[in-house]
Amino acid sequence: MRHFFLISILFVHVAGLAGGLNVSGGGGISRAQGAFTEGNTAYENGDYEKAVEEYGSLAEKGFESGPLYYNLGNAYVKKGDIGKGILFYEKARQLMPRDGDLLANLRYAKSKMKRHDIPVKRPVVLRWLDMAMSYITIRQAVFAAFFLYYGMIALIIVTKVFKKTTITPTLPMLIMSFFLAIILIALPQKFRDTERGAITLSRITDVRLEPSDTAEPAFPLYEGMKVYILRQKGEWFKVKRTDGKVGWISSPNIEAI
Amino acid sequence: MRYKKLTIIFIFTFALICVAGELCAEEIKFKILLEKEKVTPGERVRMELIFFDRTDVPKIDIPEVEGLDIRYRGSSIKPITEDGSTEDSAVYMYSIVSRAAGSYTIGSFRIEQEGDVYVSDTAVVEVTEGEPEGGGESSEKKDILDGRIYLEVEILRDEVFENEKIPVVVKLYTDWLDLEDLAVFDEIGMTQLAGVYKTGKSEMVTMKGVNYAVMDFSKWFFIPTPGEYTFGPVKARFNIVELSGQPLNYNEDFYKKVIGRHGKHLIEIESPKKIIKVLPLPAEGRPDDFKGAMGSFTLEAVVAPKKIKEGAIVNLTTEISGYGNYKTVSAPEIREQEGLRVYEPTAEEKEGRVIFTRGIQILSADIKAIPDVKFSYFDPVEKKYFSLFKGPFPVAVSQGGGLAAVEKAKGPEEKKEPLAEEKKKTEEMIDIKTSAGDLRKASPVFYGLAGTVFLGMLPLFFLGTSVLVKKRMDRLVNDTAYAGWIQASKEAAKDLTKARSLMRKGDPERFYDHVFRMTQRYLARRFCFAPGGITEEIVSSQIRLRIENGDIADAIESIFNDCYLSNYAPLEFEQSDMENTFRKVKKVITELNGIVYI
């Protein structure tokens, strides 16, 4: 009875808090929805500049959703800004990685690139894992890893500590360990893609050996090419191309995903 | 006796074999050829040992010549003419440096090596102060580094067309120098106009009697705007490695001996500049579809599949190969035709060719062929435009399915607006999304370092806690003394609270009754007796023995005594007596609670 009373109080408090948050955020969301619709109208009318402006204002205010980034990518590609288009498609892919429309348009935008990304030389197994992981978001991957980890610990507690069940935990533990290992092996690349990935925005730019405009050029980057940001020094980023080449590039030429 | 004879025969035979070997040893003659016979101190001179008409001689170790620093630089086999006949001959090359003026005689040598005897003629080098022989004369090529290394640039033509692929070959001539970390570059660098220099072939050449190792580096570039341009200078940057292993001259200082001879020297040399005139493309004969392709190309095209249903999409793959600037090549044009929807092509550049693939949707079953494709280019060698054609490409289109069938099935009004879903499929890009989805403020990731560590530690904490709880539960089941201690402590705390309450109410009868029962119950739990079995006698006889502290035993006995007396004369007990008894009870329980096993 006493527990029921405590749970009831807790439930009332949480419900009240959630309701309060919802009420306080409701106005912002509805305004954002309005801006999104205006962006759609501009896009449908062929006014891609305005569409970019409307969608972009939402992104600048910190709003995010897969369709928002997808539409923004579409508007940029229609404007002829392939680099920005690919950038926002990649952002959208982090939120809705299995969306068929998005993947099709991303392929289309990449077909417009002057030079394609140089394929990463990775063992076949790791490439399979990368491909499998590309169908889920990083949040889902991390959640799955924690779910499996918690499940394994719970199984140990129930079967080994309290011995409350006659189930033999070996097979479930092996299965969970296998999937957990797969996720943990594939996660670093996923993190790299998410946390360090950047897209080249300039039509063509030289990556230099040192963070200076007068430094020797090391290799070129073309619009839409993907790089990984290793570190930042003022306005210069030390980047790594997908084939492993490293150099420095100034900030207006790339943007982080 | 017999053994003595055998020994003599053996020794004689052995000596005969040795003498015969010596008699049969071949005497091989070689010439010493000097690049210059008069030099200045410090000037390097090349010396060659020429084994005429012999290609199988090993490198011989020539003796030191006092006053000369002689270093081995390599060998080659080349045709040598002597007495009117030319034969392939082994040539061993050395460099000679003399630090001091004088006349030095090299040879004649007689060297025995691996059973052969090598005999040479004599060469004399005069080292004199002043201008070296031939010094100051204009040279066709500007020599750098004591005339041992220089660059030559070869460019296709002095006059080229805009966007024409201009191959450039850089030749690095080096005379016996060992180069490391070699890099060849120019001012164009790695821009969209040019690639990087690729290392080509290496060969040995002889020019004016001097042997050079020649390394080729090639790249190509193009210039998009007509005008006059300067190409170069092309630069080569490298380290020269000083060879060791030759005897040092005693007049060299320590620095040169230790560092100069064994160290690396970073050198940068550059080629002369080249003037290139870039011509505009002629307007005469320019095809309408010309998009700037420069070179000489061939065109291949294929359509697949050839049997389709109306509404389906076929792929037109065109491949342009040949020599030219592929950065100027764009997809061949396809002639417009009713009933076809042509999509934007995708391009894939491979070595020496570009492949364009474009989708073409067949909107009508009346289509019999995909129309021909046309590709126009300007050939800078022929200096005129060319157009290539391929096709048409027959296709067999059957009715049914696809967009056209859907359109036909509908009325004339509906025909104007195809189904949204079908329209979506036929657009170049799939349309925008009408719903914003889960539009929300971007939230920080929950898998940051601190969050991950916390969430990772949490189940371990649960696991540890579970193990502790399980251990405690097992102990409570299996360890009676421990269980009694835990239970007695909990009950005693409640009982003391109640006793204090009764004491404050001033009800001695109920107070002592409660104290008696709680003491009995507490002691029974702690000493594993039945609660009713705890009497003053048991305390005296058994519990006192198990409690080391006699004061506690006395206090327990006193409590029981007070309780007995209160049964007979409760009104005799005042508030102070109750407080005194309560203190004793509290002291006993506190003391005994501190001991797990009694």
Q: How would you write the pLDDT of chain B (598 residues) with one tens digit per residue?
A: 455 665 566 565 555 554 444 444 567 888 888 877 888 777 777 788 888 888 777 777 777 787 788 877 777 777 777 777 777 788 888 878 777 788 888 878 877 776 778 888 888 888 887 644 444 333 333 344 556 678 888 887 788 898 888 888 888 888 766 676 777 777 665 455 666 777 777 777 777 667 778 888 888 888 888 888 888 788 887 776 654 444 444 444 444 444 444 556 677 788 878 888 889 998 888 888 888 899 999 999 988 888 887 777 788 889 999 888 888 888 888 887 777 877 778 788 777 788 888 888 787 778 888 888 889 999 998 889 999 988 888 888 887 544 444 344 333 333 334 444 444 443 467 888 888 888 888 776 666 677 778 888 888 999 999 999 988 888 888 888 788 888 888 889 999 999 999 888 888 888 988 998 898 888 888 887 777 777 777 777 777 777 777 888 888 888 888 888 887 877 777 888 889 999 999 998 998 888 876 6
B430 contacts A101? CB cut-off 8 A: yes
Nearest CA to B447 among A149, A155, A18? A149
Q: What is the CA radius of gyration of chain A?
A: 23
> Nearest C-alpha of chain B: how many angstroms from A178?
18
Do B325 and B375 belong to one domain? yes
Q: With an 8 Å Cβ cutoff, is A217 touching chain B? A: yes
Q: With an 8 Å Cβ cutoff, is A195 touching chain B? A: no
Cα–Cα distance measured from residue A228 to residue A244, given in angstroms and rounded to the nearest whole number: 10
Do B247 and B338 belong to one domain? no
Q: With an 8 Å Cβ cutoff, is A9 touching chain B? A: no
Do B227 and B272 belong to one domain? yes
Q: Which residues of A touch B436 (CB under 8 A)?
A: 32-33, 36, 65, 67-68
Nearest CA to B345 among B385, B377, B301, B293? B301
In sequence order, the β-bridge partners of residue B45 are B96
| Dihedral, CA of residue B563, residue B569, residue B573 and residue B577, to nearest 10 | -30
Q: Give me the amino acid identity at B333.
A: E
Q: Which residues of B touch A74 (CB under 8 A)?
A: 429, 431-432
Range of the domain at B574: 480-593
Tell the burial category of A12 from Cβ atoms under 10 Å away from its Cβ (0-12, 13-18, 19+).
exposed
Residue B356 sits in a domain whose CATH number is 2.60.40
Do B79 and B195 belong to one domain? no
Interface test with B, best of A54, A76, A136, A153 (most B CBs within 10 A): A153
Do B101 and B156 belong to one domain? no
3-state secondary structure of A237: strand
In a domain, B16, yes or no: no
Cα–Cα distance measured from residue B77 to residue B56, given in angstroms and rounded to the nearest whole number: 10
Range A160-183 burial, b when 16+ CB lie within 10 A, else e: ebeeeeeeeeeeeeeebeeebebb
In this predicted structure, what is the pLDDT of residue A89? 92
In a domain, B64, yes or no: yes
Token digits of residue A29? 């969301």
Q: Into which CATH architecture does domain A2-111 fall?
A: Alpha Horseshoe (1.25)
Cα–Cα distance measured from residue B552 to residue B543, given in angstroms and rounded to the nearest whole number: 10
In a domain, B161, yes or no: yes
Nearest CA in chain A to B458: A150
Q: Give me the amino acid identity at B185.
A: F
In a domain, B239, yes or no: yes
Tell the burial category of B181 from Cβ atoms under 10 Å away from its Cβ (0-12, 13-18, 19+).
exposed
Residues making up chain A, counted from first to last: 257
Cα–Cα distance measured from residue B403 to residue B493, given in angstroms and rounded to the nearest whole number: 86
| CA B248 vs CA B72, B256, B260, B483: distances in Å | 14, 10, 11, 94
| CA B121 vs CA B51, B214, B321, B493: distances in Å | 12, 31, 61, 121
| Dihedral, CA of residue B558, residue B560, residue B561 and residue B566, to nearest 10 | 130
In a domain, B135, yes or no: no
A105 contacts B436? CB cut-off 8 A: no
In a domain, B570, yes or no: yes
Task: Judge whether B80 and B49 are in contact, CB under 8 Å.
Answer: no
Cα–Cα distance measured from residue B121 to residue B106, given in angstroms and rounded to the nearest whole number: 9
pLDDT digits (tens, 9 = 90+) for A131-185: 888 888 888 888 899 999 999 999 888 888 888 777 788 888 999 999 999 888 8
Q: With an 8 Å Cβ cutoff, is A15 touching chain B? A: no
* CB nearest A63 (choices: B439, B445, B446): B439
User: If one looks up domain A197-256 in CATH, what number appears?
Assistant: 2.30.30.40
The position carrying tokens 């000037």 is: B43
pLDDT digits (tens, 9 = 90+) for B478-490: 888 788 888 888 8
Do B257 and B308 belong to one domain? no
Total tally of structural domains belonging to chain B: 4
Do B485 and B372 belong to one domain? no
Residue B548 sits in a domain whose CATH number is 1.20.120
Cα–Cα distance measured from residue B68 to residue B55, given in angstroms and rounded to the nearest whole number: 28
Type and span of the H or E element at B260: none
Do B113 and B219 belong to one domain? no
Cα–Cα distance measured from residue A139 to residue A136, given in angstroms and rounded to the nearest whole number: 8
The position carrying tokens 């403020």 is: B441
In a domain, B411, yes or no: no
The position carrying tokens 């498609």 is: A89
A153 contacts B460? CB cut-off 8 A: yes
Give A157's DSSP letter: I
- Give chain B's largest Cα–Cα span: 155
Q: Which residues of B touch A67 (CB under 8 A)?
A: 432-433, 435-437, 439
Do B267 and B153 belong to one domain? yes
Residues making up chain B, counted from first to last: 598
Give B257's DSSP letter: I
In a domain, B432, yes or no: no
Do B486 and B387 belong to one domain? no
Q: With an 8 Å Cβ cutoff, is A136 touching chain B? A: no
Residues 28-47 (A) with a CB less than 8 A from some CB of B: 28-29, 32-33, 36, 40, 43-44
